[in-house]
Chain A
Amino acid sequence: MSPADHFVIAPILLPLLAAAFMLVLSERRRWLKRLISLATLSALAGVAIALLTMVDAPGGAPLAYRLGNWPAPFAITLVVDRLSALMLLLSASIGLCTLFYALARWDRAGPRFHPLFLLLMMGVNGAFLTGDLFNLFVFFEVMLAASYGLALHGSGVERTKASLHYVAINIATSLLFLIGIALIYAVTGTLNMADLAVRVPVLAGQELVLLESGAAILSIAFFVKAGMWPLGFWLTPTYAAAAAPVAATFAIMSKVGIYAIVRLSALVFGPASGLAAGFANEWLMAGGLATMAFGAIGMLAASRLSGIGGSYILLSSGTLLVATGTGSAPVLAGALLYLVSSTLGVCAMYLLIEPVERAADIDREAAQRQSEPVFEDDEPGLLMEEYEAEEEEDEIGIVIPATIALLGSAFIFCALLMAGLPPLSGFIAKFAIIDGMLSGLPAMGTGGWTAIAAILLSGLATLIAMTRAGINLLWVPVDRPQAHLRVVEAMPIALLLALCLALVIGAGPVTRYMKDTAAALHDPGRYAGAVLDPALQPPERRR
């Protein structure tokens, strides 16, 4: 193995080691922690880009990394293909931007923000990398455990109440996840996803029924994570109660559920999987449409920006589920672009909420009173005093006369991106999805038309909701004190929007990459071939 091969495990090891090291540092060495976090996340972005170029090379096969170098179906494998590399890059960019934003003040609102943040990144990256179902469960738990801590970050009554529901629902969901895994193992005798892709096509009769029940229970766990109606009721209140950078980071977590569904439906229930092919596609379609309707109504009904953000996450999950449910490669290619651009857009939107509502002079004192820490360790008295002292001197800040103009234009940018209007990447993505659906229409029947109508109508609902919020908060001239916007807060938002702009400018190569990704997903043989050791294929060989 050359050193470059070990890049595959770096997105898991780097944040783990950095977080472990940070635990021994005192809570007061803040700048050292910040530097370590920033360095780790920059390294993650670098590794993700390197992996992406490696798998995207002409004729590049998925990279498999066998932990402990055990032969394939027995070892836990990590696999990087185009989809994983894309998701890794997305999570690293979002992590870097939200971390930057958190430096403005949120990382001081409670103890151990940075280790938790890095562990969340580790869990998310692990879930994208792993090629083993049980390992996927473990990384889900790592991600969730870190997210419990982050959802509580800053403490306060609202957060504690919302987190209690969030934690209880996710523990119950993890148990469903385990039932699904156990049933799949009972039928196939393997948990390796590549091995599953090989074994599922030969199943029939009772075994097939058991496999489908296992897969259905497993998908409920992913649907809860992705927020499918009616399982996504917990999402909006939790995200609204969480601290701004935390909520922005959570935007990637709902995409982990989508990723798992896309991966498994292509690998295990793709067209090549015999009797199990296309299992649950109608369910994905129906559930996705219901989620889109719920998200759109939620957006129109929301009175605050955080409500709009939460509903938009549901809406985008619904769109992605519908696109996955069509089971066609061109639609999936558009959906992947939509996934990237909607995640970046909603992340920027969550980061905008705080400055915009500050500009709209919503009572900040009340918000601050709620953010006192509840955990009594790490000399909270000292920490709080320091926090408040810095708060006071920071609050003076730099007064940018053009604050409202800046915020307003960033807000318009977000609105266009989320509603899918030209010229931004949201439009290209929706166009690609609808184009794919139109070309595959004869096979899809009425479902295709319904999906197209739902996508267009949801864009309209997004536009109405965002325009109304913008008028209420930003574009009405009211006598209000000059708002403050710190550079460190504006920069990550600008960076996220610049990334979306880059998606438009580089639309050619980007859509080419998405098409290759979707085509590779619909060819599970290549994935299985890269993971499984050909010498081991007939199991009798070991005798």
Chain B
Amino acid sequence: MEIILSLAIGIITASGVWLLFRPRTFQLAIGLSLLSYAINLFILAMGRLKMDAPPVVDKVAEANPAAFADPVPQALVLTAIVISFATTALLLVLLLAARGLTGTDHVDGTEKTP
């Protein structure tokens, strides 16, 4: 479980960083989205991985922290997803505006002439 999750985070991050360094604006948008997925998984992992454990503490039973998943990272991930979704949407609008105004999808707004 741990090795699968860490591999997934690593591969997604690597792909995201590689795309971030590409010259096209669309690659930039996808790269940032991939990075935000990887980081959401990372935050979840930072609350310790736990299978079949509810995040809500049972009032009746003895409060044993080991039997429950940490609810805080889940709440953080939810907020982070919403925020990165909104900023990516804004970035997409900006990409289209830049494409329309400069006539190219290069991140610098001009094509490099060889």
Q: What residues of chain A have their CB less than 8 Å away from a CB belonging to chain B? A: 134, 138, 141, 144-145, 148, 152, 155-157, 160-161, 163-165, 167-168, 171-172, 174-175, 178-179, 181-183, 185-186, 191, 374, 543
Contact = CB atoms under 8 A, between A and B. Distances in A.
A357 B84 CA distance: 39
B46 A182 contact: yes
Contacts of B39: 175, 178-179, 182
B67 interface: no
A171 B107 contact: no
A152 B97 CA distance: 10
Given A148-B90, A161-B98, A171 B80 contact: no
A172 B102 contact: no
A92 to B, nearest CB: 26
A535 to B, nearest CB: 19
Contact of B97 (A160, A181, A182, A186): A160
8 contacts: A157-B101, A160-B94, A160-B98, A160-B101, A161-B102, A161-B108, A171-B32, A174-B84
Given A138-B83, A168-B107, A175-B39, A186 B101 contact: no
Given A161-B102, A163-B94, A145 B25 contact: no
Given A160-B94, A160-B97, A175-B35, 13 more contacts: A134-B79, A138-B83, A141-B83, A148-B90, A152-B97, A157-B109, A160-B101, A168-B107, A171-B32, A171-B88, A178-B39, A181-B76, A374-B100
Given A161-B102, A175-B36, A182-B73, A168 B28 contact: yes
Contacts of A175: 32, 35-36, 39, 84
Contacts of A165: 107
Interface residues of B, number: 34
Contacts of B107: 164-165, 168
B91 interface: yes
A168 B46 contact: no
Interface string B79-113: 11001101110110011011011100001110000
Contact of A145 (B35, B76, B87, B101): B87
A160 B102 contact: yes
A179 B87 contact: no
B20 interface: yes
B56 to A, nearest CB: 14
Interface string B54-90: 0000000001000000001100100110011011101
B86 A145 contact: yes
Task: Determine chain A's interface SS by DSSP, over half rule.
Answer: helix
A167 B83 contact: no
Chain A to chain B: the 7 pairs with minimum beta-carbon distance, closest first:
A186-B46, A161-B109, A182-B46, A182-B43, A157-B101, A160-B98, A141-B83
B79 A164 contact: no
B42 interface: yes
Contacts of B46: 182-183, 185-186
Contacts of B36: 175
Interface of B: 20, 25, 28, 32, 35-36, 39, 42-43, 46-47, 63, 72-73, 76, 79-80, 83-84, 86-88, 90-91, 94-95, 97-98, 100-102, 107-109
Contacts, number: 89
A303 B28 CA distance: 32
A174 B109 CA distance: 24
Contacts of B83: 138, 141, 174
Nearest to A186: B46
Contacts of B20: 172
Nearest to B38: A175
B91 A168 contact: yes
Contact of A152 (B43, B47, B76, B94): B94
Interface centre among B20, B36, B83 (most CB of A within 10 A): B83
A152 B100 CA distance: 15
Contacts of B25: 164
A213 to B, nearest CB: 12
A69 B108 CA distance: 49
Contacts of B79: 134, 138
A216 to B, nearest CB: 16
Given A138-B83, A157-B101, A183-B46, A167 B90 contact: yes
B105 to A, nearest CB: 11
A132 to B, nearest CB: 11
Contacts of A163: 94
A164 B94 contact: yes
B88 to A, nearest CB: 7
Contacts of A183: 46
Contacts of A164: 25, 94-95, 98, 107, 109
Given A160-B98, A167-B94, A168-B32, A179 B88 contact: no
A141 B94 contact: no
B42 A179 contact: yes
B30 to A, nearest CB: 12
A155 B91 CA distance: 15
A324 B76 CA distance: 30
B76 A134 contact: yes
B98 A174 contact: no
A499 B4 CA distance: 59
Nearest to B95: A164
A260 to B, nearest CB: 17
A217 to B, nearest CB: 11
A168 B25 CA distance: 10
Nearest to B100: A374
A157 B102 CA distance: 7
Contacts of A182: 39, 42-43, 46, 73, 76
